[in-house]
Amino acid sequence: MTALRRFGLLAPLAALSLAGCGLNSVPTAEEQVTAAWGNLQSEYQRRADLIPNLVETVKGYAQQEREVLTEVTQARANATRVQINAEDLDDPAKVRAFNDAQVQLGSSLGRLLATFEAYPDLKSNQNFLTLQSQIEGTENSILVGRRDYNEAVRAYNTRIRTFPDAIGAKIFYGAKPKVPFEAASGSQNAPKVDFNTAG
């Protein structure tokens, strides 16, 4: 009877010690990273979906801006070609390639949106204004999504490196740190558009 009673007292203690080793918290933190990544991917997809409509709207007004339109179209193709899934979030090279493609697309899109200042008719076009507003909103959502993703990565990486969760992370899950997004060099600079080129 005393052995059974002793077991009854030790069982909850053993369960608490195992729970303190990351058996539940590590997968929970990893799922938060995956969820944040999924939300961010949906914002990037929304931006990619809006761009063809924006390009077509601008084409009618800005025939001489073919170079910018071509650059945006090519950058969109490159960005949608670079695929990354939740299992790749611990591979710095894959995350960097994805980030670089998205940064290039954002930069090209910024140049395209900056061109509308030179076209008074385009500025009054309701389709353009609606698309511009949707893209600006999506860009803001991407910024929030990147911040949320980086915060989830920070929490996960901290959890798998600190005691006692580090024990379960290594022994049971073989956990590897996830890769956060970093700002691209020059991303603090606004796109430059010069309409005073000699023609």
Total domains in the fold of the chain: 1
Is the pTM higher than 0.85? The answer reads no
Q: Are 194 and 115 in contact (CB under 8 A)?
A: no
- Does 195 map to a domain? no
Asked if 26 and 124 count as a contact pair (C-beta separation under 8 A), the reply is no
**Residue 5 falls inside a structural domain:** no
Would you state the pLDDT for residue 191?
45
Q: How far is it, in rounded angstroms, from Cα 4 to Cα 159? A: 36
**Per the domain annotation, does 84 fall within a domain?**
yes
Residue written as token pair 């600006």 = 136
In a domain, 68, yes or no: yes
pLDDT of residue 91: 94
Residue 188 located in a structural domain: no
pLDDT of residue 145: 95
- Averaged pLDDT, groups of 10, the chain, 199 residues long: 56 51 86 95 93 82 75 92 92 94 91 76 77 90 95 96 90 91 62 41
Domain holding 146, by residue range, is: 25-173
Q: Is residue 181 part of a domain?
A: no
Residue 187 lies inside a defined structural domain of this protein? no
CATH of the domain at 120: 1.20.1440.20
Tell whether 14 is covered by a domain: no
